Copies of this chain bind each other. A is one copy, B any other.
């Protein structure tokens, strides 16, 4: 079962049909927000045993491929705010999943690396995260999933992603 908001409370009978709020519900901005909401809920449900958030996974998964990198490089890779990433890294550091070391060549930089524990956890995380993606697109046919990805990527490409 999904958590929280994705399970909407029942509406009064006079407001039951979606048509009653067409204006907002037909805006792509609203649709994208709702999809994000669903994706986060699915993630929380599937990853519940590990108590990890989508951002935290994104950080770990990126460090698996790019090590060592600075916080700024990391935030650019996953398109998160530099300031926000700081707190995320604090929590991952507290869990012992990554380490920060001062770059001897540039002491402004804190180079991030996965710890062995972080690497082990990440191996366990990949399957449920894949399951989240599968469940998110499950309502679509194979063709539609490819269309959806292509459209998303086209939008992001043109919006500077």
A137-B155 contact, Cβ under 8 Å, with A21-B65, A37-B79, A76-B9: yes
| Interface: A96 (CB within 8 A) | no
Contact in complex: B156, A35 (CB < 8 Å): yes
Instruction: Give CA–CA (A24, B32) in the complex, Å.
Output: 18
Which residues of A, 102-161, contact B by the 8 Å Cβ criterion? 129, 132-133, 136-140, 144, 147-149, 151-161
| Interface: A7 (CB within 8 A) | yes
A5-B73 contact, Cβ under 8 Å, with A152-B35, A158-B139: no
Contact in complex: A79, B5 (CB < 8 Å): yes
Contact in complex: A138, B158 (CB < 8 Å): yes
| Interface: A2 (CB within 8 A) | yes
Which residue of the partner chain, among B5, B20, B61, B147, contacts A151 with CB atoms under 8 Å? B147
| Interface: A31 (CB within 8 A) | yes
| Interface: A11 (CB within 8 A) | yes
| Interface: A27 (CB within 8 A) | yes
1/0 per residue, CB under 8 A from B, across A10-40: the answer is 1110010000110110111111111111110
Contact in complex: A26, B140 (CB < 8 Å): no
A151-B154 contact, Cβ under 8 Å, with A24-B78, A37-B79, A72-B9: no
